[in-house]
Copies of this chain bind each other. A is one copy, B any other.
């Protein structure tokens, strides 16, 4: 693991997600950008001294020199965004499988380079767009694929949070600080942090490609360096329309990711804060509330559950499903279900297109080539 040490948030989530199903073991790491903090974090996590490194270069060197029986299979990258590219590229080039946090990298050029490297080495590369790990998101995807909603016409996705409604980055909050530092997070604030999740959720569920978009990015908290409010109109290849909202200044809102997809035969709604339900509004009958674990779900959704319906699974379980998908891919199983490096690259192209649109005065900015 690279990053995720003291003061980090998402590293611990990754570790719990890995632990849950007993398919991963944390054996080595370079857990912080500060050598002392890195070492201290590793000790706390019970990593053996000789595999607890001061920086990722040392980790890579050490793993490379180990015998295959003793070597880590996968490296997990949970650093601030700007570190993703060099670390991911180096480990892929060295033949390691990788799990990397989103957004993948800062530029589409880096993303393409990474995609090429993964292709060349034939390694597994997962990007932790974790919301696609929820069983009912997978159900939604399968319903679309099976044509149960007919032709998709309209997509509305909102990802609202309130935690950046004040200027936390000026008050010593580490999470807020790096996210609002253009050097560490890329040029995108809320857009990169949560807008990218929204984009991936739409792509995962609908399979639609955003053809062009029209974006309005705002920094509504005075003094903030990056966007904290992102709104955009979407046009998908094939004619569907959409709206994407990502905002971190919705005071009092916790983690309000909501998706609505309408097709000619029905509409579905899913809310991350109540993730064990998916509401389906068919054109010819009453709304149906699909619940996690039910026998009438599609197989891909069923497989993503651990316990019976009515026994809620949550965020960590969904996250763990991404890890299960990566593990299945590493074992070469056919049904590995996880967001790959291409999904990560698509997310980077999306962010770039939004940034271009937000700066321009033209209504529509093309996303696809």
- Residue numbers of A with Cβ under 8 A of B are 9, 12-13, 15-16, 19-22, 46, 149-150, 153-154, 156, 158, 160-163, 165-166, 214, 216, 218, 220, 229, 231-233, 235, 239-243, 245, 247, 249-256, 260, 262-267, 272-276, 279-283, 285-291, 294, 296, 306-317, 360-364
Contact = CB atoms under 8 A, between A and B. Distances in A.
A299 to B, nearest CB: 16
Contacts of A267: 162, 250-253
Contacts of A363: 214, 360-363
15 contacts: A154-B247, A160-B260, A162-B283, A165-B264, A214-B216, A251-B266, A251-B281, A255-B311, A272-B310, A276-B314, A286-B289, A286-B291, A312-B315, A362-B363, A363-B363
A312 B153 contact: no
A251 to B, nearest CB: 5
Given A19-B19, A19-B22, A13 B307 contact: yes
Contacts of A309: 254-255
Contacts of A252: 266-267, 280-283, 287
B233 A216 contact: yes
B249 A153 contact: yes
B286 A262 contact: no
A310 B254 contact: yes
A136 to B, nearest CB: 11
Contacts of A283: 162, 165-166, 251-252
Given A20-B316, A165-B264, 6 more contacts: A16-B20, A22-B46, A154-B229, A162-B262, A251-B282, A360-B363
A233 to B, nearest CB: 5
Copies of the chain in the assembly: 4
A11 B316 CA distance: 20
Nearest to A318: B312
A281 B214 contact: no
B241 A250 contact: no
A287 B252 CA distance: 8
Contacts of A233: 214, 216, 231-233
Contacts of A281: 162, 250-253
A144 to B, nearest CB: 13
Given A243-B231, A251-B263, A313 B310 contact: no
Contacts of A291: 254, 286-287
Q: Which of A46, A166, A273 has the most CB of B within 10 A?
A: A273
A294 B285 CA distance: 8
Contacts of A21: 16, 19
Contact of A314 (B19, B153, B251, B313): B313
Nearest to A360: B363
A129 to B, nearest CB: 15
Contacts of A231: 233, 241-243
A275 B251 CA distance: 22
Given A286-B294, A287-B252, A289-B287, A307 B313 contact: no
Contacts of A296: 285-286
Contacts of A317: 314, 316
A72 B156 CA distance: 47
Contact of A364 (B165, B290, B361): B361
Nearest to A290: B286
A86 B118 CA distance: 56
Nearest to A17: B20
Contacts of A150: 251
